[in-house]
Structure 1
Amino acid sequence: MLTTALAPALWGTTYLTTTTFLPDDRPLLAATLRALPAGVLLLVVCRQLPLGEWWWKSWILGVLNIGAFFALLFIAAYRLPGGVAAIVGGVQPLIVALLASRLLHERLTTRIVAAGMTGVLGVGLIALQAQARLDAIGILAAVGGTLSMATGIVLSKKWGQPAAPLTMTAWHLITGGLTLLIVMLTFEGPPTTPLTPSNLGGYAYLSIVGTAFAYVMWFPGIARLPASTTAFLGLLSPVVAILLGWAVAGEVFTPMQMLASSLC
């Protein structure tokens, strides 16, 4: 559980990295450069391709866990206040618990539902601000990303892992990254201005540490832990994001937010 928890903790650094180091208004570029280089790196290391039905299964899981999730995550991050996106993401454990009860026959207990509601409350108290301005596209992106990741978690658990975690991570990142590349070239196009050293450093961190390393920690947890337990660990992401904003970016951290962190 501790090693699995490293993944959402690292994902919590995405917002600060994006706002500090990455160019503005390029969510699909950010998603592509986060996924595809990490997948190529891991594939070079593991040197194993999918076999049989795992070609299409890897593609589906890659789109759900990486491609669609990353794209929608960055779109929501660019268009919504962090609090709104965090609250939508905080609903994910409840969605996973419901899907797992149907597809994996995991028990949907009162304790799990209560814990999920507490997590949503904690995330909301941490991040939602009174001046939050809602954006329809951002809300749809946040909801879509939450549903995509939740479905990916449950299907990853249901289908199992026919190869080592490093290999599985490579397959998901490659298939998700290639899908993102096609979407990015279609809707955003390639970068029109040269990337700065700061941009390249931000992309490198997100790809190597926030993606390759994080997902190598994440997928073994999906295999070994109940799906609902894995989903609840995802609540660490907005908590880490808020703590970094307070410690690094100088954002105000109120007593109410400190109390809310303990709920998560």
Structure 2
Amino acid sequence: MQLKLSASRLPFAPLLLIAPFFLWGTAMVAMKGVIPHTTPLFMAGVRLIPAGMLILIAAAFMGKPQPKGWAAWLWIALFALIDGTLFQGFLAEGLVRTTAGLGSVMIDSQPLAVALLSLWLFQEHIGFWGWLGLGLGVTGISLIGLPDEWILHILDSGANITIGNWQDLFASGEWLMLLAALSMAVGTVLIRFVCRYADPVTATGWHMILGGLPLWGISSVLESQQWENLGGSDLVALSYATVFGSAIAYGLFFYFASSGSLTSLSSLTFLTPVFALLFGNLFLSEVLSPVQWVGVFLTLISIYLINQRDALGAQNDTITVGEIANIQPPVLDSSAKKLNPVSLAVRESEPEI
């Protein structure tokens, strides 16, 4: 895998790289039954604040240094605002206003934004194979998340998309999910700047706490009955989403994002709806359609192309050099006792002495 991360020295590094997206996908399955029994902003805060505390406790046991200086705290505060408050807020409100499939497609399209930002800010090489992989990835998650009849209708007659007034646009779940995807993309890039002044693990913990507090503050004013309808199974699902889907997943993700290729790491986000579908099929008896299976296949191909884009490009370069090396020098045609046309052309081009 092309992810050149310091964590590659850890045992089971490939599994650790995939773990955040596996945990996010399974956490989505766990949260499906909780959403009707609570409020979105309160639930978003639950996924951040306790998880941030757990990360800080783990960082203390690991001996990670705490942030020092105004520059560190200012970058963490910006990180908290964008990746904590805005991302989780837009995501929670968007899930209420849109279908889970369409919301998943829009939120998991953020690797495109990460690739563009990484190209602009860090000059990360993407190349033909990388862009092809990103395109296949977005196509794959679209086949996974969008209803089959939409896909078939688009293939048959094309999509006619109309946009109403701005008020309807900002109130739509699709717009909110797009804002969530952009917030996560910017947050993924911001961790590079945060890590210049603070440890990535402790910064992740603090940004979750600082980003979650405004969500609980707004929830206390605008929402009601945040926990009265929660049952035992809901608390178990919230605990799983908090500990595994937030604390462990975000801790690993931003630790990996602090170095290496952001485009390659972010491309693994395409795995999130795949895991959500597979475990929804396993635990909730949700059946995958043939169109969704095609989407899963395209998604896996896209991840391979993105993470192997440099190797695939190098193979093409090697073939080109090899073809040049295999060109034979001009030889004398012994049967006709004269130079062949290639040799003649070469000689004619040589200067006379």
Taking structure 1 as the reference length, what is the TM-score of the superposition?
A: 0.90
Match of 2:195 among 160, 184, 201: 160
Q: Does 1:213 align with 2:248?
A: yes
Shift of 1:70: 1.6
Q: Does 1:38 align with 2:51?
A: yes
- Equivalent residue number for residue 20 of structure 1: 33
Moved more, 150-159 or 114-123: 150-159
Q: Does 1:224 align with 2:259?
A: yes
Q: RMSD between aligned alpha carbons? A: 2.3
One-letter amino acid of the counterpart of residue 259, structure 1: V
Distance 1:162 1:190, change over 3 A: farther
- Equivalent residue number for residue 77 of structure 2: 59
Structure with bigger gyration radius: 2
- Equivalent residue number for residue 284 of structure 2: 249
Q: Does 1:116 align with 2:142?
A: no
Distance 1:192 1:9, change over 3 A: closer
CA contact (8 A) 2:55 2:201 kept: yes
- Equivalent residue number for residue 68 of structure 1: 86
One-letter amino acid of the counterpart of residue 175, structure 1: L
Shift of 1:255: 2.5
| Stretches of 4+ aligned residues off by more than 6 angstroms | none
Which consecutive unaligned segments of at least 5 residues does structure 2 have?
4-13, 151-162, 300-353
Counting only pairs closer than 5 Å after superposition, residues 67-216 of structure 1 correspond to structure 2 as: 67-130=85-148, 136=169, 137-160=172-195, 162-189=197-224, 191=226, 193=228, 195-216=230-251
Distance 1:192 1:220, change over 3 A: closer
CA contact (8 A) 1:35 1:207 kept: yes
CA contact (8 A) 2:75 2:193 kept: no
CA contact (8 A) 1:25 1:78 kept: no
* 1:144-165 Cα distance to aligned partner (Å, 9 max, x none): 1000000111121244354444
- The separation in 2 between residues aligned to 1:145 and 1:199, in whole angstroms, is 24
- The separation in 2 between residues aligned to 1:224 and 1:175, in whole angstroms, is 23
Distance 1:192 1:126, change over 3 A: closer
- The separation in 2 between residues aligned to 1:67 and 1:183, in whole angstroms, is 11
- Equivalent residue number for residue 10 of structure 1: 23
- Equivalent residue number for residue 67 of structure 2: 50
One-letter amino acid of the counterpart of residue 33, structure 2: T
Q: RCO higher in 1 or 2 (8 Å CA, sep ≥ 6)?
A: 1
- The separation in 1 between residues aligned to 2:145 and 2:229, in whole angstroms, is 34
Percent of counterpart pairs with the same letter?
30
- The separation in 1 between residues aligned to 2:291 and 2:208, in whole angstroms, is 38
CA contact (8 A) 1:98 1:108 kept: no
CA contact (8 A) 2:49 2:212 kept: yes
One-letter amino acid of the counterpart of residue 151, structure 1: V
Shift of 1:6: 0.8
CA contact (8 A) 1:15 1:77 kept: no
User: Number of residue pairs matched?
Assistant: 263
SS of residue paired to 1:251: coil
CA contact (8 A) 1:21 1:201 kept: no
- The separation in 1 between residues aligned to 2:18 and 2:109, in whole angstroms, is 18
Which consecutive unaligned segments of at least 5 residues does structure 1 have?
none
One-letter amino acid of the counterpart of residue 81, structure 1: T
- The separation in 1 between residues aligned to 2:136 and 2:124, in whole angstroms, is 20
Shift of 1:103: 1.3
- The separation in 2 between residues aligned to 1:196 and 1:208, in whole angstroms, is 18
- The separation in 2 between residues aligned to 1:157 and 1:129, in whole angstroms, is 37
- The separation in 1 between residues aligned to 2:211 and 2:189, in whole angstroms, is 17
Shift of 1:189: 4.3
* 1:54-101 Cα distance to aligned partner (Å, 9 max, x none): 112111112222222122222222221222112212421111111111
- Equivalent residue number for residue 339 of structure 2: none
* 1:210-236 Cα distance to aligned partner (Å, 9 max, x none): 111111211121022211111101111
SS of residue paired to 2:207: helix
* 1:164-215 Cα distance to aligned partner (Å, 9 max, x none): 4432221121111112222222322462625322222121111111111111
Moved more, 77-86 or 96-105: 77-86
- The separation in 1 between residues aligned to 2:263 and 2:217, in whole angstroms, is 32
Moved more, 15-24 or 54-63: 15-24
